[in-house]
Amino acid sequence: MSLSYRQPGVVLTDRHFTVPLDHAEPDGETIELYAREAVATDKADRELPWLLYLQGGPGFGANRFVGRQAWLDRALDEYRVLLLDQRGTGRSTPVNRQTLPLRGGPAAQADYLARFRADSIVRDCEAIRPQVTGGDPWTTLGQSFGGFCTVTYLSFFPEGLRTAVITGGLPSLDAHADDVYRAAYPRIERKVTAHYDRYPADVERVRRIAEHLLDHETLLPNGYRLTVEAFQSLGLMLGTSDGSHRLHFLLEDAFVRTSSGPDLSDAFQEQVQGLLSYASNPLYALVHEPVYGQDARPTAWAAERVRAEFPQFDAAKALASDAPVLFTGETVHPWMFETDPSLRPLRAAADLLAARTDWQPLYDPARLAANEVPVAAAVYHDDMYVDAGHSLRTARAVRGLRTWVTDEFEHDGLRTGAPRVLDRLLRLARDEA
């Protein structure tokens, strides 16, 4: 039974769906999907076209808006919006350290997790579309990984799409995970350098924290083991519009004087715990690299292996010289499954996913070259999370795709620039801009 409720300017309805775990076995095991329908209060009784929102990630549920926040305000001007919790996220059948043991041992868990990539997500969307739209095609808005899903949608089920809009999420069609990270580390270094240029005092602050972590075992309140590498991964913040400023405020009062000497403050540790823990979104860590798998080559912990090609990210070497300690970015490493208590029970399954050699293609270049769906994409000029060069090559490979290349926004432009970003892309897709 659907439950509807109101917030300022919007009527929300809970929607629940049942889909096959494996769409190749439609009569086999099923999982549940949750989505929240949103419509403007003054349009609640009208027939409207549908917009499906595909969240970034992988492994995150859809935005929980209050009222007509951010880009939703623009979307509600003309659409009913479906905010989908992709399989394994939010209120859909959950995937975490508590539920995965129900599958069996690590091998069974890895087989299960292999069904949580863009190909399965798109098949979910096609399975529920007739129930939502009555069979009509819908418009999709794909943010980041949601854009990856959109390109998969265009590859295999273009008949389900009226229009496609992508923000910060045009993937390479053929890059292996190694290629993705070889392109990523130089971008990460540029973001860290820009941060230190803005906040030069942070160079010494970061060195002091790194030295402390090398000399002291530090357990955060939830049992997370804060190593130097884990501390460096806070650089993930630098890919957002306000991330550099938030990182600076975090660092500026990291230490407190105690009876036994300087120590990392409780306040600092509490904030770091919230930033580093994967307890609320373990699926991100588990399938982050598999979303790049498309052939018989294993991903094999690509970010960890490729990092060795960039010795400037070695904190110990930086501390032994006058070099700044560099943060890292959107990378997942095997040591995270040792430091994070929410991931520790899943290490064996993660290793099996990293060794997997039967990944199927996620994109169809021939189908994309013949695309007839109106598509518009925002490409952020120096996006820390998605390589702009990869995105532009894909843009050229998708027939009719129009791009808006901008350095006005970081990866979270849909949030910080809304409703202007969504409006610009809808007009591009309609040849109105």
List active site positions: 144, 358, 411
Q: Residue 146 and residue 278: Cα distance in Å, rounded?
A: 20
| Distance between start and end Cα atoms, the chain | 42
Q: Residues with Cβ < 8 Å from 308, sequence gap 6 or more?
A: none
Q: Residue 129 and residue 111: Cα distance in Å, rounded?
A: 26
**Nearest to residue 255, comparing CAs of 198, 205, 221, 220?**
205
Q: What pairing do the DSSP bridges indicate for beta strands 10-20 and 4-7?
A: antiparallel
CB-CB neighbours of 365 under 10 Å = 14
Query: What tokens appear for 46 in the block?
Result: 């009208």
Give the amino acid at 366. Answer: A
**Nearest to residue 31, comparing CAs of 294, 355, 283, 351?**
283
| CA 212 remoteness from chain centre | 31
Query: What tokens appear for 206 in the block?
Result: 């970061």
Query: What tokens appear for 130 in the block?
Result: 């007739």
Diameter over CA atoms, the chain:
70
**Nearest to residue 30, comparing CAs of 22, 42, 40?**
22
Give the amino acid at 15. Answer: R
